[in-house]
């Protein structure tokens, strides 16, 4: 139980940072080497590597060594994160549609 | 009880479909999607929204701004087709992105579902999966996360 909540804490911390969210978003589409990823950000290579360590600890990404390079890919957990964003979008539209229901009801009653 | 919103996104394909049934005939539902005073009431979850332009006819433009925590968030586009009461095709772009070219094509289709019921199907076609994912995340950026998608949602998904 304690382990489970520690694990969830890691995930929430990971997703709280915009750079880490952006890294995850990129990884949904493709694999990157650490160097390739670092090029996309204004922060230092070391800072990007640090973010990757946080994400790896939260089991959101995987790092695999291939020769001299490390390939970063998304872990299944992060794919679930994508479905989390989808849920967010669905919430927005559900909210809109519920408002529309109210408006339609008013049109009917008047 | 309200009807269920069905949202579909195929992994790797930059298309999102959103479907919903409304308890009103097509003509009424169409009005709610095309009249300024109606759209002002439903489009934004924010209390402050400005429907700056809404010319629901072919070639007409639209521009909506809502305000979250003092930050203005604007979307705008052009109507490609407005065929009452069955179809609207329009472009949409997020003005606060900092770069242009990330346009979305949206098609709203209204069909008779049953007596006094209308089925609305919105198909959004993004240019890349990355554009799609940015749009999906816009909920978080507009502070929607606090209002709707809280930690409980994340927990449910895991």
Q: Are B140 and A15 in contact (CB under 8 A)?
A: no
Domains, chain A, with CATH or none: 2-109 (1.10.10.10)
Domain membership flag for residue B35: yes
Q: Are A78 and A60 in contact (CB under 8 A)?
A: yes
Angle, vertex CA B118, rays to CA A83 and CA B51, nearest 5: 70
Domain membership flag for residue B1: no
Domain membership flag for residue B48: yes
The pLDDT, as a whole number, for residue B4 is 85
pLDDT at A39 over 80: yes
pLDDT at B152 over 50: no
pLDDT at B151 over 70: no
Gap between the Cα atoms of A96 and A90, Å rounded:
10
Q: What ipTM goes with this model?
A: 0.83
Which residue on chain B is closest to A98 by alpha carbon? Answer: B2
Rounded to the nearest angstrom, the gap between the alpha carbon of residue B129 and the centroid of all alpha carbons in its chain is 18
Which residue on chain A is closest to B27 by alpha carbon? Answer: A104
Please give the model's pTM, rounded to 2 decimal places: 0.66
Domain membership flag for residue B39: yes
Number of domains in chain B: 1
The pLDDT, as a whole number, for residue B36 is 95
Q: Do B16 and A8 touch (CB under 8 A)?
A: no
The residue segments making up the domain with residue B147 are 6-157
CATH label of the domain that carries residue B125: 3.30.530.20
Q: Residue A24: is it exposed, middle or buried by C-beta count within 10 angstroms (0-12/13-18/19+)?
A: buried
Q: Which residue has the higher pLDDT, A76 or B158?
A: A76
Give the confidence band of A79 by pLDDT, cuts at 50, 70, 90. Answer: low
The pLDDT, as a whole number, for residue B43 is 92
């Amino acid at each position: 139980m304690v382990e489970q909540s520690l694990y969830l804490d890691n995930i929430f911390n990971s997703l709280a940072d915009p750079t880490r969210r952006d890294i995850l978003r990129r990884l949904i589409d493709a694999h990157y080497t650490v160097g390739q990823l670092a090029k996309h950000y204004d922060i230092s290579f070391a800072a990007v590597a640090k973010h990757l360590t946080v994400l790896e600890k939260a089991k959101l990404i995987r790092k695999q060594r291939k020769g001299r390079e490390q390939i970063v890919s998304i872990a299944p957990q992060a794919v679930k994160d994508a479905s989390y964003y989808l849920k967010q979008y669905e919430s927005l539209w559900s909210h809109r549609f519920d408002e529309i229901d109210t408006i339609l009801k008013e049109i009917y009653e008047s | 009880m309200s009807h269920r919103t069905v949202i579909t996104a195929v992994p790797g394909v930059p298309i999102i479909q959103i479907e919903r049934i409304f308890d009103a005939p097509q003509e009424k539902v169409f009005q709610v999607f095309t009249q300024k005073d109606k759209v002002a009431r439903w489009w934004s979850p924010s209390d402050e929204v400005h429907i700056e332009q809404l010319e629901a006819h072919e070639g007409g433009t639209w521009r909506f701004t809502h305000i979250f925590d003092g930050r203005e968030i604007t979307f705008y586009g052009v109507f490609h087709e407005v065929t009452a009461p069955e179809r609207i095709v329009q472009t949409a772009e997020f003005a606060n992105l900092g770069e242009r070219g990330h346009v979305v094509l949206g098609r709203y289709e209204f069909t008779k579902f049953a007596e006094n019921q209308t089925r609305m199907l919105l198909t959004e076609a993004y240019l890349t999966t990355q554009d799609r994912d940015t749009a999906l995340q816009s909920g978080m950026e507009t502070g929607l996360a606090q209002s709707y998608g809280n930690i409980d949602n994340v927990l449910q998904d895991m």
